[in-house]
Amino acid sequence: MSESPLTPEEIERRKPVWFALSELWLDTELTDSDLHHIATKMVDSGYSLNELRVICDSEIAPVVYKNLLTPVGVWSGFDESWLAQQIISQINKPKRWQDALLDPLRRPFIHYAGESEWPLLVLKYREIKRAKNRIEL
């Protein structure tokens, strides 16, 4: 396996974000409290909204999107060590020409789950940042 493009420190910084945002793909209805918890993890990470969207779309979604396509999906939460290992494997996976052909077909399924909640997360993220006097323009 090739060396990860992420340093061990960056992986540790990302883990809470990976785990929190993976909740978008659980087979449950997210409450306002759930969304606030996720947005708090987003703010605490120090990543910008743009960086968080990239992490969500390119690191988390390709690993967990199939959960909502199975008849009996995970609903109580993904195992944190499994999730981190799967994301790191996905990041390190060599890119193949077949993936380039299949990605446009997979993309709607991969990103479907988070689309309805993302605007709510953005609002909560900004609300929490304002409350902490860390306004992002």
Read off the pLDDT of residues 38-66 as tens digits, 9 standing for 90 and up.
999 999 999 999 999 999 988 998 888 77
**Of 15, 3, 10, 8, the residue nearest 80 (C-alpha):** 15
Averaged pLDDT score across all residues of the chain: 82
- What pLDDT score was predicted for residue 103? 62
- What pLDDT score was predicted for residue 104? 60
pLDDT digits (tens, 9 = 90+) for 90-123: 888 877 666 665 666 566 655 555 677 899 999 9
- Among 3-17, 27-41, 75-89, 92-106, the range scoring the smallest mean pLDDT is 92-106
| Residue type at 87 in one-letter notation | I
- What pLDDT score was predicted for residue 91? 87
DSSP classification of residue 116 = T
Q: Report whether 99 contacts 14 (CB < 8 A).
A: no
* Mean local confidence (pLDDT), 64-75: 64
In this prediction, residue 5 has a pLDDT band, given cuts at 50, 70 and 90, of confident
Predicted confidence (pLDDT) at residue 1 exceeds the cutoff of 50: no
pTM, two decimal places: 0.80
Give the span between the Cα atoms of 137 and 132, in whole angstroms.
Answer: 14
